[in-house]
Amino acid sequence: MTSPQSNWVRVTRLNPCPKCGKPDNCSVSLDECLCWCGRISEGAIDKNAGGQFLHRLKDSDHASHAWKPNFDQPHQQFEPSRDWGNRAEYFAQNAAARILELSQQLGVSFASLTALGTGWSVNRQCWTFPERNGEGKVVGISTRDRQGQKKRITGSKSGLTFASDWREGTGPIFLVEGASDTAALKTIGLAVVGRPSNLAGVGQLTDLLFDIATDREIIVGGERDQKPNGSWPGREGAISVSTQLAEALDRTIGWALPPDDAKDSRAWLQAMPELPVERLADLFKTGIDIKRVNPPITLTPAPEPKNTLPLNEWRATMFQDRLQSLGHPGIYLDHSPTGAGKSRVDFEAIRVLLQRGAAA
C-alpha cells in the first residue's frame, strides 16, 4: 500500500528539517537516520541534482530494529501477552509509516507520537498508545482505529499517557484528555500528561506529580464537549480532577478550557495558522482562562485539653475503693476541688480514716 518513495518524508511546519530547521525543501528518512537538506551543505555525504545535500543524522544500526522497509507487516501471530510494556514496544516497532499517517491525520508531529510510544497493531488495524501508572510502568494500551474510534486492549488497565521527558522545562504542566491532545501539546513543546478520560486517573496523577514544585503551575485541561441535555463532561471532569488533586497534593491546581473556543487542544492546533511552535505555545498559554482551585483549608486542631471529668471520677472511685477496702463504707466525699493528683487522694483517704479513728 505504501510506496517505496514514502521511505522519505517531506519536512513540514510541525516536522521541520533537523538540519536547517526549515519547514520545506528537505526530506527525512522514515528511520530518521538520513536527511536530504536543501540548504545545508556542510558535512554532507552526498548531493543530488535537485541541489539537496544528504546528511547522516545517526547511525542506522541504532534504528534498524525500529524500521524495516516492509511497510505491510506480515500478520502478527504472536503478541507478548500481559506484559503491557513489552507489548507496547512490540507495537511500536515497524510502525513508522503508520505513525506518520496518524501524525498527518491528527495534525501533530511525528516526534510527539513516537515520544508517547505510539504503535500499530496489524491484527487489530489500529494505533496503540501505552498508558502508565504514576511510577511510569505501562499498565495498559489504548487503541484508535482509522475512523477515530477509541478502545482499550482487553485485560489492560487505564493509565496516563506521557513521554519520558514529560516534566522537562519550567512552564506549566498540562493534564489533558487522551493521547491525541497529549500529542498536540507535546508538538508545541509544552509539558503534558494525558488523562485516560474526563474523570479518571486522579490516583495515578497524585503519584506522578507529588514532587512538582508548588510554584510550577499544574493545569487540568477540559474539553468543550457540551451535550444537548446540558451536561458537560469535559468541564465537569476538569473541575472534579483539579479539586481532587488540590486536596491530594495539598496545593493549588488550575483548570482551563482550550483557547479560542476550540473543542480540544488538538482541534485548536489544527485550526491555527502556520507559526513557529514557540509562538503557538505562547498563544496557547495566553489564550486560556485559568480557574484555580485551592486545597481545602485544614485547621490543625489545638491539642485537646485533658478531660477533667473522667479523672475526677477516677479519683472518686479510687477514694471510695480505699475506704471500702478498709471496711468503712458510706463516707461522704466532697470531690469538688480539682487539680489534685494521686497523692491528694491518698492523703484525703488517710485523713478521713484518721478522723474516724479519732472519733471512734
Which positions lie near Zn ion, rule CB under 5 A?
Answer: 17, 19-20, 26, 37, 39
Least distance from Zn ion to the Cβ atom of residue 82, Å: 44
Least distance from Zn ion to the Cβ atom of residue 14, Å: 15
Please report which helix (H) or strand (E) contains residue 45, including its range. Answer: none
CA distance 225 to 261: 11
Q: Which of 73, 106, 76 shows the shortest CA–CA distance to 181?
A: 106
Between 19 and 285, CB nearer to Zn ion: 19
Least distance from Zn ion to the Cβ atom of residue 277, Å: 16
CA–CA–CA angle 195, 181, 3 (5° rounding): 125
Sign of CA dihedral 34, 39, 42, 46: positive
Least distance from Zn ion to the Cβ atom of residue 64, Å: 24
Between 26 and 246, CB nearer to Zn ion: 26
CA distance 345 to 312: 10
Between 27 and 121, CB nearer to Zn ion: 27
Residues in contact with 154: Cβ distance below 8 Å, sequence separation at least 6, in sequence order: none
* Closest CB to Zn ion: residue number: 17
Residues in contact with 158: Cβ distance below 8 Å, sequence separation at least 6, in sequence order: 131, 139, 140, 142, 152, 196, 197, 200, 201
The two beta strands, 173-177 and 218-221, are parallel
Least distance from Zn ion to the Cβ atom of residue 37, Å: 3
Query: Cell numbers 487505564 correspond to what residue?
Result: 158
Between 20 and 269, CB nearer to Zn ion: 20
Between 19 and 87, CB nearer to Zn ion: 19
Between 20 and 218, CB nearer to Zn ion: 20
Residues in contact with 119: Cβ distance below 8 Å, sequence separation at least 6, in sequence order: 88, 89, 90, 91, 92, 93, 95, 99, 127, 128, 129, 130
Least distance from Zn ion to the Cβ atom of residue 98, Å: 25
Between 24 and 282, CB nearer to Zn ion: 24
Least distance from Zn ion to the Cβ atom of residue 15, Å: 11
